[in-house]
A and B are shown apart, each in its own frame.
Chain A
Amino acid sequence: MIAPQLAAFRRLTGCVALALTCVACGGTSPPKSSFEYALPAFSTELSQANFEYVKFGAVGRVSIPAQREQMKQSFELGLVNEALKQIWAQAPPGEGMALANIVILVTEKTETKEAVFTSTKTTKSDLELIIRADIVRFKDTVPFKDTARFKDTVPFKQAAP
């Protein structure tokens, strides 16, 4: 007579324990994050016979999800700075450098899953900020106006999916 009641009690306590475990594990949602960034103006003028190319095809690339994780952990960002740092690291030492012929990419991967019994699901994720440039050196730096490293004019937004 007692045995079935004991079994039912055990089943009940098991369910309660499972429910508590679920609440403990799933109750705390992971922190969400979003950030926005601006690229330099890259508005250096090429209008005089006073420059030469010192490097063609310098590329800097930074993982956007990695920057997001870094922000969560260290409360610091540096997406654009990291990409430009990689480009400037490819320039020879000297003064009066500027970037030209710049291509900026924010790559994205779109994954579409189609299943028989579920609706089609499309997920989009931004992967990398990639900047490509040629590096020029101005021989006469008096009229040289390198606003590329200081001005922010092109805003982009990055939000967590």
Chain B
Amino acid sequence: MRATQLVLIAACLCAGCSTTVHYGSTVTLRADQVKQLGARPFKLVATGLSASAHAPVDDPKSAELAIAAMHSLVAQAKLGPNQALSNVSLEQGVIEEEGKPAVRVVTLRADVVEFLPEGPPHAANPEAP
């Protein structure tokens, strides 16, 4: 009888307990290496590239979404010699279900520029003489 009572009490206690695990991260993006864009001849190869990654908040992958998104963005840009990502931005958010965080989302956007060999000033501009 005593054992049954103990089992019942334990069952009640366990029914009232819950553990929630969320994975997240502090993100720092250093994709600002393109500088003095107007000082050197260049051309825009692509604009408005976008890459996203998402995962449930209780999945360890949701702590590394920014890396997954950058992998995807770079693969999509197919960066060649002298090409670089420019104007990169990062957005991140959480989708809630029944008032609780459920899915984490990260999206990166970028343009691709290609630097041209040094030539006459403004050689990249087709309207230049």
B19 in the interface, Cβ–Cβ < 8 Å? yes
B100-129: which have CB < 8 Å to A? 114-118
User: How many CB-defined contacts (below 8 Å) exist between A and B?
Assistant: 140
State which size class the interface on B falls in.
35 or more
Taking the nearest CB of chain A, how far is it from the CB of B110, in angstroms? 9
Cβ-defined contact, A114 with B17, below 8 A = yes
Cβ-defined contact, A109 with B21, below 8 A = yes
Stretch of A7-15, A24-32, A40-48, A75-83 at the chain-chain interface: A40-48
Taking the nearest CB of chain A, how far is it from the CB of B94, in angstroms? 12
Determine chain B's interface SS by DSSP, over half rule. mixed
B26 in the interface, Cβ–Cβ < 8 Å? yes
**Which chain A residues lie closer than 8 Å to B66 at the CB level?**
103, 105
**Which chain A residues lie closer than 8 Å to B34 at the CB level?**
45-47
Q: A101 with B85: in contact, given A49-B115, A106-B25, A110-B24 (CB under 8 Å)?
A: yes
- Given B22, B67, B79, which contacts A110 in the complex, CB threshold below 8 Å? B22
Cβ-defined contact, A103 with B29, below 8 A = yes
Cβ-defined contact, A132 with B25, below 8 A = no
A11-69: which have CB < 8 Å to B? 39, 42-53, 56-57, 59
A100 in the interface, Cβ–Cβ < 8 Å? yes
Interchain CA distance A110-B93 in the complex, whole Å: 17
Determine chain A's interface SS by DSSP, over half rule. strand
Of all chain A residues, the one with the shortest Cβ separation from B72 is A57
Interchain CA distance A52-B13 in the complex, whole Å: 62
21 contacts between A and B (CB under 8 A): A39-B28, A44-B33, A46-B35, A49-B40, A49-B41, A53-B79, A100-B33, A100-B84, A101-B70, A101-B85, A103-B27, A103-B28, A103-B67, A105-B63, A106-B25, A107-B64, A109-B22, A112-B20, A112-B21, A113-B17, A113-B19
List 15 other contacts, CB 8 Å, given A46-B34, A47-B35, A111-B22.
Answer: A45-B36, A46-B35, A47-B34, A47-B36, A48-B40, A49-B40, A56-B71, A59-B67, A101-B33, A103-B29, A103-B66, A105-B63, A105-B66, A107-B63, A115-B17
